[in-house]
Amino acid sequence: MSTVIVLAKECLPGRVKTRLTPPFSAEEAAALAAASLEDTLAAVRRVRADRYLLWFDGTAPDSTGFEVGAQPAGGLDERIATAFEAVDDRAVLVGMDTPQLDAAVLQSVLDDDGADAWFGRATDGGFWALGLDPMAHRGDLVRGVPMSTAQTGAEQLVRLHGAGLRVRTLPELTDVDHVEDARVAAAAAPASRFATLLARLTANVAAAA
């Protein structure tokens, strides 16, 4: 049995992708976040899994085809920990900030019997993916790890190794936080919704300058 979890939040102007403003407006930044989420969900749908869980903060979009769970209050570590505690089987968790996500990479996690944990670093020092086999109290492998710092990925990896787990690393990806990140992600997936929207919005900004 296997589950793919997508950690996401409602794409409201002023609440998501705020570091993309400027050059984009709050509404445009929210639209880019929504496109990134759509690309992420589309990639996950191509993965063969038994369960697809959208672990959501806010009002989830309609007709995703995913089971929806509400994120609890608390820091990011708590929200990730409780996501893993909501499922009993092998699970891989990804965020909504990597529209260049490759479904084949996620599939390799679910098909791999040679590891206990799977870890995808992000270029900003965090991580974009975490996979864990069933184990007691696996939420505690995340709970307490300082989040949103340049050392988050390194500290999370130390936690996994410290628990004696066999860890397989996944390709490093760029989370979309800043405009340059957005360009990198779009270049890696030029046919994505995110890349198409970014090109149009960038052209609009250039025309208005």
**pLDDT score at 137:** 83
**pLDDT score at 187:** 98
> Residue for token digits 């800043």?
178
Bridge pairing between strands 127-132 and 90-94: antiparallel
CA distance 146 to 3: 25
Residue 130 three-state SS: strand
pLDDT-derived band of residue 131, with 50, 70 and 90 as boundaries?
very high
**pTM of the shown model:** 0.95
**Contact assessment for residue 26 and residue 14, using Cβ atoms and an 8 Å cutoff:** yes
Which domain, by its residues, includes 20?
2-208
The C-alpha angle with vertex 143 and arms to 141 and 147, in degrees rounded to 5, equals: 110
Element (H, E) at 33: helix 26-45
Please state the domain count of the chain.
1
The C-alpha angle with vertex 155 and arms to 153 and 156, in degrees rounded to 5, equals: 65
Summarize pLDDT for 59-71 with one digit per residue, the tens: 999 889 999 999 9
Number of residues assigned to the chain: 209
Looking at residue 166, its amino acid is: R
Summarize pLDDT for 85-116 with one digit per residue, the tens: 999 999 999 999 999 999 999 999 999 999 99
How confident is the prediction for the chain on average, in pLDDT?
96
Tokens of 80: 């990730």
Q: The CATH number of the domain where 96 resides is what?
A: 3.90.550.10
Averaged over 146-168, what is the pLDDT? 97
Which residues pair with residue 4 across a beta bridge? 52, 92
Greatest Cα pair distance in the chain = 56
